[in-house]
Structure 1
């Protein structure tokens, strides 16, 4: 008898905030049962991303002031109550995994049975049905179980059919990184007249932002490690600046219309220096450290606009799926791991060895 028939599945659970020891691979997890308006999804693949790692190590806690690698060495030891992205305590054990590509294999009441067999992507940031307003959201693998298991369940309307020749491994590289990038680019209304500087450009979100900004006709300047310059140029960047050097060595002050920032850290002020008068700055990450020094006079004297980008309207993911189906964007998968290799995958991710995405192959 199969584990599905027995009501069990394999998966990885997070037992609390901390280091890699908090991730446990188990082979007899209870199988999810779809409730009304939900579907049961056989997970084909799940991506590795900052959101899941930051949640595991409790990096979102206000007690943390260092970069992600500094905290990730051991993780928080106090099981911080504000360690999730929402600031609310998490319920452990939790199955993480914000990125999920899979197939609908069963439906709950109120869902058309014709949806069984659809290959889908699950929207990682979803509307919280218990609270009103689009800024009341939950995230896959944070406030609900995610894709680091053989099966998961989700609201039917948050499961988007994909019509693409891409593999499920490739499709799983899109949801979290590309929706984060598209949300930033959409918020600042990047267009064909813009010069856009993107930090962390070799990572999942950064490499996605290059493609999505180029899709809108913008000129892209990418900041990444010297060793990754060629691969970032291959993604579509027009110019690459070495992360190891001052941005101002090779980029003039007031020469950039938009900054898409995923890094922050000690060199943050240089990003503001290169922005033109009335430039736009968007941020959705701070892997080099969340505490920066700002001269408020620069903000108002240059008439700048700052955008903090987390919450996403459904239109962002709808557009992303359309880009995928139309072949307008391409996946950038650097390495594939088995689900049981999640600790190795997250270690490689933190070491920033690869350009683009790392993906777990979950179900064959």
Structure 2
């Protein structure tokens, strides 16, 4: 089937609330040299979508400045980092055998070409993303998962949430037999952390609350810490020997309260600030115990390759909480911001 000239897309032309999401018709992008055109089968939502739309990332010189993921947004911008679909066309220099293959797109824009490159941009923020019927991507960022038993919806949940989770686990050097504490465990990244840490052979303690606790336990948590109660006291009771690695997407007060829970040589990995970015802790707990606080932003190309191998073998089973059509993107983002779900929200262009 040929590629049409026009497509539906949801984009933002300014920062603001869900009302700035614009459902419109735009030209189908043409793949440039070294790129492929992907027909989007499913696109998953992330907190990154909300923060980019709101301009909530700040800048190093001005934490309160309106900014996209890594700087000013070049409006208009089609949102959406997480894409699963099929290759519809290729640009010059790309083999035509990719056409028709089912793929997942690595949404990161890297600072170098090597396996340990750092992400410095993101599809849906620094380039157009998957809130659309078609999206382009560099061929080296497109991973063939045709043989995976996972659905398009499940595959679409992987790039940002599971990529971020795998990056945290790799940078935190989590090993078999260690004890991990996962904050925000019912969210997309949190649930991915629980699943991957469990698959690694770690003992997993997860922080959640209310009706979400059963879903977090079903994802593989050995013990669930109730966020509504005294978290440090519960952790000390569940893991009296201490925690080896904290995998934290919440930050805020949890860092200062929780740092004494680390064992000698423990690692606290932070990849989010849902609980607040202004953090205070007793630095003596850091240097006297040889512990580390590690920042982790998404994944490296090597990490993403490991994730795609897990997807091909279905060694993780992503949880899809809800699906929406593309023209209800604002409703989908509102649902995401309520944080009442367990798993990921997916849209169908």
Smaller-chain TM-score bracket: over 0.9
Alignment-derived partner of residue 254 in structure 2: 267
Structure 1 alignment gaps of length 5 or more: 66-79
Task: Give distance in 2, aligned partners of 1:268 and 1:138.
Answer: 27
5 Å-filtered alignment, 1:303-318, equals 303-310=290-297, 312-318=299-305
Alignment-derived partner of residue 183 in structure 1: 167
**Deviation of 1:311 (Å):** 5.2
* C-alpha contact (below 8 Å) 2:3/2:88 kept by paired residues: no
Structure 2 alignment gaps of length 5 or more: none
Alignment-derived partner of residue 326 in structure 2: 339
Alignment-derived partner of residue 103 in structure 2: 120
* C-alpha contact (below 8 Å) 2:81/2:123 kept by paired residues: yes
Q: 2:40 aligns with which of 40, 43, 48?
A: 43
Does 2:151 align with 1:164?
no
Deviations 1:75-104 (A, max 9, x none): xxxxx45x1221x21100000101000110
Q: 2:28 aligns with which of 28, 31, 35?
A: 31
**Deviation of 1:299 (Å):** 1.1
Q: 1:193 aligns with which of 177, 182, 199?
A: 177
Task: Give distance in 2, aligned partners of 1:25 and 1:157.
Answer: 30
Aligned-residue RMSD, C-alpha: 1.9
Does 2:219 align with 1:232?
no
Does 2:270 align with 1:283?
yes
Q: Which moved more, 1:242-251 or 1:336-345?
A: 242-251
Question: CA 1:45/1:158 → structure 2, altered by over 3 Å: closer, same or farther?
Answer: same
Task: Give distance in 1, aligned partners of 2:290 and 2:111.
Answer: 35
5 Å-filtered alignment, 1:113-152, equals 113-128=96-111, 134-135=117-118, 137-152=120-135
The number of residues matched between the two structures is 342
Alignment-derived partner of residue 15 in structure 2: 17
Question: CA 1:39/1:356 → structure 2, altered by over 3 Å: closer, same or farther?
Answer: same
TM-score if structure 2 supplies the norm length? 0.94
Question: CA 1:266/1:164 → structure 2, altered by over 3 Å: closer, same or farther?
Answer: same
Deviations 1:39-77 (A, max 9, x none): 111001100101111111111115567xxxxxxxxxxxx
Runs of 4+ off more than 4 Å? 62-65, 128-131
* C-alpha contact (below 8 Å) 1:265/1:289 kept by paired residues: yes
Task: Give distance in 2, aligned partners of 1:97 and 1:60.
Answer: 16
**Deviation of 1:304 (Å):** 0.7
Question: CA 1:116/1:129 → structure 2, altered by over 3 Å: closer, same or farther?
Answer: farther
Q: 1:154 aligns with which of 131, 137, 141?
A: 137
Task: Give distance in 1, aligned partners of 2:334 and 2:185.
Answer: 19
Secondary structure of the structure 2 residue equivalent to 1:346: helix
* C-alpha contact (below 8 Å) 2:183/2:207 kept by paired residues: yes
Alignment-derived partner of residue 245 in structure 2: 258
Secondary structure of the structure 2 residue equivalent to 1:52: helix
Alignment-derived partner of residue 54 in structure 1: 51
Secondary structure of the structure 2 residue equivalent to 1:214: helix
* C-alpha contact (below 8 Å) 2:149/2:314 kept by paired residues: no
